[in-house]
Amino acid sequence: MANSRAQRTLLMLCGDYMEDLDAMVPFQALLAYGVSVDAVCPGKKAGDICRTAIQQASPHQTYSEWRGHNFTLNATFDAIEVSKYDGLVIPGGRAPEYLAVNESVIDLVTKFSDSGKPIAAICHGPLILAAAGSVKGRKCTGYPSVKPVLVAAGAHWVEPETLASCTLDGNLVTGAAYKGNPEYIHLFVKALGGTIKGSDKRILFLCGDYMEDYEVMVPFQSLQALGCHVDAICPKKAAGDKCITAVHDFEGDQTYSEKPGHDFTLTADFEGLDASSYDALVIPGGRAPEYLALDESVIKLVKEFMEARKPVASICHGQQILSAAGVLKGRKCTAYPAVKLDVVLAGATWLEPDPIDRCFTDGNLVTGAAWPGHPEFISQLMALLGIEVLF
């Protein structure tokens, strides 16, 4: 449930087969900024999961879809008191199609709308606002296929120029798709009365094929939403090339499961990169670090950041690269538990990630065990960079 010490308390309206990144990026970004977020779903309680969907452009006439991560709810729908919340977030995907015909959902959204509190809805999420009669006379956007419903509901439809487009109309923030998460989250923070300080930073992400989907996209877009300049590179690839990602989840087996993730588009060339122009380095986990740790150009890049004492944030299996680079001797850090051997043999003091979302800072080094720890991971990197979100 909500953290009473948080500066703002938000409600996120979830459902099965909501789009994976539509839900998790805002959820963990806002937590990292010091906002409390309760995620609920009709008919479910705290601790239950919602299945998510990965939706991505395809060569066909509409997007493709497959299973994403399992999203764990942290509050119970039937226990909601609207008066305690400062705003509402509605992810997209397919969930809004059935949530829009749920009377308890409509009642909830109507109460938020009548209160004038900030509401953010992305992708297919505005369908719920239309069902609640909350878009009449309002400017809004969404995934292009929701246009007929919004127009019929009396909205002033704003055609999205790209799938990263967002629209602000008073207390209402709408977005076309998860590609627009950075602007979507930024506008919502402002609608909540937030200000961002110290975000004039340049941050570099070290990427590779089969890095974990959340572990690249959540911190990448969270830092972009703050106003940071964020670049992503991969050896033997250039700006505009893609890295395929993996969905690693915990589903009751002796180790994590793997499913295909979203494609991730790189923003800069690896060759000829001036690493000295960046203020920090982020290393996602997944399976990419296993082979990146064998690349001498990667090792050289990591050493450059560590020797310059610039912030380096590494999560999950990312510490395999730090171990290979010989930069962990005498340091304290954590990692995904299966990487403990790499870390200890590299001369580091192992910090047990218990619970799995635990993260640690040792000087310029931030380490985390897995994607559930993103809020701590991002907030600790923000602290090293001097970035604050104030309300």
Which residue out of 50, 228, 234, 316 is catalytically annotated?
A: 316
Whether residue 316 lies in the annotated active site? yes
For residue 164, list its beta bridge partners. none
Which residue out of 41, 69, 124, 234 is catalytically annotated?
A: 124
Tell me the domain boundaries of the chain: 9-193, 197-390
The domain made up of 9-193 has a fold known as Rossmann fold (3.40.50)
Residue among 253, 266, 260, 282 nearest 210 (CA)? 260
Whether residue 123 lies in the annotated active site? yes
pTM score of the predicted model: 0.97
| pLDDT 10s digits, 13-72 | 999 999 999 999 999 999 999 999 999 999 999 999 999 999 999 999 999 999 999 999
Predicted local distance difference test score (pLDDT) of residue 7? 84
Burial letters 257-269, b for 16+ CB under 10 A, else e: eeebbbebebbbe
The domain made up of 197-390 has a fold known as Rossmann fold (3.40.50)
Predicted local distance difference test score (pLDDT) of residue 2? 41
131 DSSP assignment: H
Which residue out of 123, 207, 228, 333 is catalytically annotated?
A: 123
| pLDDT 10s digits, 283-302 | 999 999 999 999 999 999 99
Q: Do domains 9-193 and 197-390 have the same CATH topology?
A: yes
Which residue out of 69, 248, 262, 317 is catalytically annotated?
A: 317
Whether residue 317 lies in the annotated active site? yes
